[in-house]
Amino acid sequence: MLVSEPAEPPIPDGLLLRIYRVAVLTRAVDHQLWLLSRQGRAGFVLTARGHEVAQIASAAAMRRGHDSAWCYYRDMGVGIALGVTPYEILLGGLARGADPHSGARQLTMHLSSPSLRIGSISSAIAAHIPHAVGAAYAARVRGEDSVAMCWFGDGAASEGATHEAMNLAGVHRLPVVFLCENNRLAISVPLALQMPVERVSDRASAYAMPGESVDGTDAEAVFTATRAAVERARGGGGPSLLELRVPRITPHSSQDDDAYRSAEQRAAAAAADPLPRLRETLIERGMLAVDEDERMVREAREQVVADEDLALAMPEPLPERARRWLYAGDPPHGGVTLPARYANWTGVFDG
């Protein structure tokens, strides 16, 4: 097991700023959904706050539209990084019939996009991890050089499906990268009561794959470690397990009061917020001016509020359509008219 803490890993010019820009937008969507939930207009909400920089930086190491993404319910940053628009996320969060990911059948942030190669998100913890391994196996059978990227939380690391999937990936040396977003809480259960080892990455050796623990609040470290794992998988070197150590700044969900954490623990999580850290890095390197940052944050909020207004104006799903697409037929992917500002939206990637 490796513990990676590089000071200044190499990263393509402009990418760090794009990661920050997408993180600011993700935070704005996250905040608005939380408000909508508190107002009773959006249902169950699970936020990405504290995770988003790690999500976006790791997604940036993929080949967009070529590699497949297998996410869990907190991975808003991955979705937006790959090209899902805030408008689509708000359509789902507000349960509008135009939601292109499930037609409002799924919970908030349960994405599914064939065009972006994002597999349907499952509410069942760890259910998507064997799917990611299946996608990696299919890529090998088809002779493709695509990599399956699979994100999950530390709670999922204790599920049997996770071990079965990693074991199969290790046996067949499949092109899959496992990324555990470890915030040290499986809802309310602390890491010490979930597993007897200090780091999730310690388990990698059981499956004969490299394991690396990375500071998930360091965008450069996350990108560098993920890029190496992706290149290894694409080159035939087999799977990897990356542990991204991140804070969970909010309660588990909009229906959780977070009473199991002390005020000191909640304050420590807030102090580890990766967004200010990345902002300061960019300003120190002359890649971002303070006034430019303020404008970016303001415009992101305005953009999300405008998307919210458009989504709220859309009709709710028709009851007679509730049973469509359950077993057969064309799924409700696509067909949504996006605001003009998203005509060339490519997420964190330089379109």
CB 110 within 8 A of CB 35: no
For 334, phi then psi, to 5°, come to 75, -170
Active-site annotation holds for 87: no
Q: Is 248 a catalytic residue?
A: yes
Of 260, 266, 301, 324, catalytic: 260
What number of CA atoms fall less than 13 Å from residue 259's CA on the CB side? Answer: 3
* 26 in Cβ contact with 80 (< 8 Å): yes
Under DSSP, is residue 261 helix (H, G, I), strand (E, B) or coil? coil
Marked catalytic residue, from 64, 117, 245, 252: 252
Q: Which of 74, 96, 117, 248 is catalytic?
A: 248
Instruction: Give the DSSP per-residue string, 293-330.
Output: HHHHHHHHHHHHHHHHHHHHTSPPPPGGGTTTTSSSS-
51 tagged catalytic: no
CA distance 234 to 191: 32
CA–CA distance, 235 with 243 (Å, rounded to integer): 21
Query: Residue 92: helix, strand or coil by DSSP?
Result: helix
Tokens of 35: 């408000």
Q: Check: CB of residue 146 under 8 Å from CB of residue 134.
A: no
Active centre residues (catalytic)? 248, 252, 260
